[in-house]
Amino acid sequence: MALPYPIPEELVELIARRFQLLAEPTRIRLFDRLRDGEATVHELAAELGTSQQNVSKHLALMASSGVLERRRDRNSVYYRIADTEVLDLCDQVCDSVERHLLGLAALVPMPNSTQPQGSAR
């Protein structure tokens, strides 16, 4: 879909909110884990090494924005990714970061590992 130019203010706000979802490291870790399939708050908290309260807070925000879905099974609530395009966006950002880091690495000369330490150049 091509964006209108100029982008209407309402759409700008929606786009900004979507990027805000990805602007928090815990939520990126949750997206990454949920790529493998649905999980409960308890499972996610244990795997991410954080509190259930913290995970619940992030999952509620992600679900209310429509990127996650919830499924209740008896006493457990399972979360899964509803909008896989968010993962595509994460992949695009990762690719961009990788290209940027490779560009920076090309600017920094690598130390010569064959030259003995302390030898004169």
Band (121; pLDDT cuts 50, 70, 90):
very low
pLDDT in tens, 18-50: 899 989 999 999 999 999 999 999 999 999 999
Model pLDDT, residue 98: 92
Give tens-digit pLDDT for 39-91: 999 999 999 999 999 999 999 999 999 999 999 999 999 999 999 999 898 89
Closest CA to 59 of 107, 99, 21: 21
9-107: what CATH class? Answer: mainly alpha
User: What is the 3-class SS of 41-94, one letter each residue?
Assistant: HHHHHHHHCCCHHHHHHHHHHHHHCCCEEEEEECCEEEEEECCCHHHHHHHHHH
